């Protein structure tokens, strides 16, 4: 099974692979210096940063909506998948 490769760019670009929403969230949490442990609080935390970075609204109601919002804002790109 091929994992989806993402490129996130909010000042310091990095690429990572994730096949599930849980893997996506886990990888972001590992890279974040002050990550909240609660998933919803963490989504809100990263959404606030992305909003400040892009000036666009970021939906953080669930991981799928969050990823779509980041893509629409131009900070997340699906490299393959």
Please tell me the distance from the alpha carbon of residue 23 to that of residue 4, in angstroms, as a whole number.
10
Tens digits of residue pLDDT in 50-59: 999 999 999 9
Q: Report residue 50 as tokens.
A: 């992305």
Cα three-residue angle 3-35-79, rounded to 5 degrees: 25
CB distance 10 to 50 below 8 Å: yes
Tell me the average pLDDT across 21-46: 89
3-class secondary structure, 47 = helix
Alpha carbon distance 51, 37 (integer Å): 20
pTM: 0.88
């Amino acid at each position: 099974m091929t994992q989806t490769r993402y490129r996130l760019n909010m000042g310091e670009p990095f690429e990572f692979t994730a096949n599930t929403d849980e893997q996506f969230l886990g990888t972001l949490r590992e890279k974040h210096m002050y990550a909240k442990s609660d998933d919803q609080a963490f989504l809100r935390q990263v959404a606030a940063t992305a909003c400040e970075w892009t000036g666009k609204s970021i939906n953080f109601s669930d991981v799928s909506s969050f990823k779509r919002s980041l893509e629409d804002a131009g900070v997340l790109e699906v490299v393959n998948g």
